[in-house]
Amino acid sequence: MRIWEEESRPHARIEIIPMIDVMMFLLVFFVLISINVIPAAGLKTRLPISGTAQDNREIHNSIITVTRSGEMQLDGKAVSVDQLTPLLRAMKQKGKEVQVIVKGDAEVELQRLVDVMDAVKNSGIEALSIAAKRKSK
């Protein structure tokens, strides 16, 4: 009786190493997001520095962000200067006291800032603040 050798075929294997690499990448990404190393949302601005800046502990209803490139957001949504007055007027008509903080980049044109302040004033809102970092001593 003759015995034939069976051909050895490669067996399918599930490689775990690439899956571990992907999981480690996801873990590192979520850790960096959670400790704010990577900014999660919003426009990036560098606040101007003021020697008389105060901590603002009150809750404000609206934040207007203005970047050096001219982009603008109202509470995280992109807007133009022309849209500010009607949007703020609608907020005020809801019966709530609306307070506005303008968070502008240190290198924003002064005219751009004045246009934003005019839009806020035209909406009938009196409470307007400009965000700044406290100067280190």
- Is residue 73 within 8 Å of 64, Cβ to Cβ? yes
Q: Is residue 68 one of the residues assigned to a domain?
A: yes
Q: How many CA atoms lie within 13 A of 40 on its CB side?
A: 9
Its sign, for the CA torsion 95, 57, 115, 66, is: negative
Q: Is residue 1 one of the residues assigned to a domain?
A: no
pLDDT tens per residue, range 98-117: 788 888 888 888 888 888 88
DSSP label at residue 68: T
Q: Is residue 44 one of the residues assigned to a domain?
A: no
Q: 3-class SS at 108?
A: coil
Q: Which two tokens mark 72?
A: 């603008």
Query: For residue 59, what is the domain's CATH number?
Result: 3.30.420.270
pLDDT tens per residue, range 10-66: 777 888 888 899 999 999 988 877 776 655 556 677 777 777 776 655 444 688 888
Q: Is residue 100 one of the residues assigned to a domain?
A: yes
Q: How many residues does the chain have?
A: 137
Q: Is residue 56 one of the residues assigned to a domain?
A: yes
pTM, rounded to two decimals: 0.57
